[in-house]
Amino acid sequence: MKMLTRYLRLLYVGGVLAKLHLTSYISWIINGVFWSVLLIIPASYLSPNPVTTLKLLIPGIVGMSLASTGLWTGTEFLRWMVHDGLTDMFRENGLGVYHYIVCTLPVDLLLSGVASLALLGLVSSGFYGINPLWWLQGNPILVTLGLTTLMVVELFYGALAGYLYTRTRLSGSWTGLLQIVITVGTIIPASTYPFPYVAFLNPASLSAELLRASYGVSGFDPISLVILTGALTPTYLYIGWILSKKSDELIARHGLEYRI
């Protein structure tokens, strides 16, 4: 009961933070949609089957978006919030990297995941004269799994960013470098690689392939993906939890400095 109460309080904190940064969220989503359209239009026009290309690209963009969100969430907690004293406030209340990321998950899933999928589906449909609600026509089980695992993706990458930030001196540079890495299995589908399953080293690739499978365009069998989800999701969660705890231990031992 105590754990449930704690998580509910974390969600409340996340709601308050989201309300304070609502304008930034809206700007970020619109900006992301416009940049994504710049990628989708040429790729689709050069494809012999534009609709299939849309269904391949958009799940990848959504998966990459949540991974990127996680990276910036972890960086935010250990970078900008240090300057404002908010990181210290969290830590004084027994909350660390893991707790901060958890409190942001539901809002990020709705805005960076569901809203981005809906907006990209609506906007892109206009270029090719297809049903504007095509993104709602996927297999409901696979869509639910794909969107749910996006929270695990954000937690994993937020914890990874936190660990690298506290462990090294490269500061926010890690975030930029990892944003290139997360294109593997997302923007670039896992099935295009010589050894496709290697792409699942990137947790976002699992979410992307689940969404692709829901629209019938994944290079993986849906049943295999469901089995992989059951095996890999706990693994991603455990690794993320370990990395976040290591970050907290390093902060407790060495302190935390503000870096530009």
Q: What's the domain count of the chain?
A: 1
**pLDDT digit string (tens) for 60-116?**
989 998 898 888 888 888 877 777 777 877 787 777 888 888 888 888 888 778 888
Instruction: Output the six-digit token pair for 82.
Output: 């240090």
Calculate the CA dihedral of residues 31, 34, 39, 44 and round it to 10 degrees: 150
Q: Is residue 182 situated within a structural domain?
A: yes
Q: Which domain holds residue 161?
A: 2-254
Instruction: Output the six-digit token pair for 42.
Output: 């040429």
Q: Is residue 241 situated within a structural domain?
A: yes
Q: Is residue 128 situated within a structural domain?
A: yes
Mean pLDDT of the chain: 83
Q: Is residue 221 situated within a structural domain?
A: yes
Q: Is residue 259 situated within a structural domain?
A: no
Task: Please give the average per-residue pLDDT across 49-60, as a whole number.
Answer: 87
**pLDDT digit string (tens) for 156-201?**
999 998 888 888 876 667 777 888 889 888 988 888 888 899 999 9
CB 146 within 8 A of CB 207: yes
Query: What are the backbone angles phi and psi of residue 48, rounded to the nearest 5°?
Result: -70, -15
How much of the chain, in percent, has pLDDT values that exceed 90?
A: 29
Task: Please give the average per-residue pLDDT across 109-126, as a whole number.
Answer: 81
How far apart are alpha carbons 184 and 88 in whole angstroms?
35
Short-list 156, 122, 145, 152, CA closest to 209: 145
Return the minimum-mean-pLDDT range out of 144-148, 153-157, 187-191. 187-191
Q: Is residue 260 situated within a structural domain?
A: no
How far apart are alpha carbons 123 and 149 in whole angstroms?
25
Q: Is residue 85 situated within a structural domain?
A: yes
Instruction: Output the six-digit token pair for 24.
Output: 């930034």
Provide the sign of the torsion angle of the four alpha carbons 10, 12, 13, 17, taken in this order.
Answer: positive
Residues in a beta bridge with 188: 184
Q: What is the pTM of this model?
A: 0.88
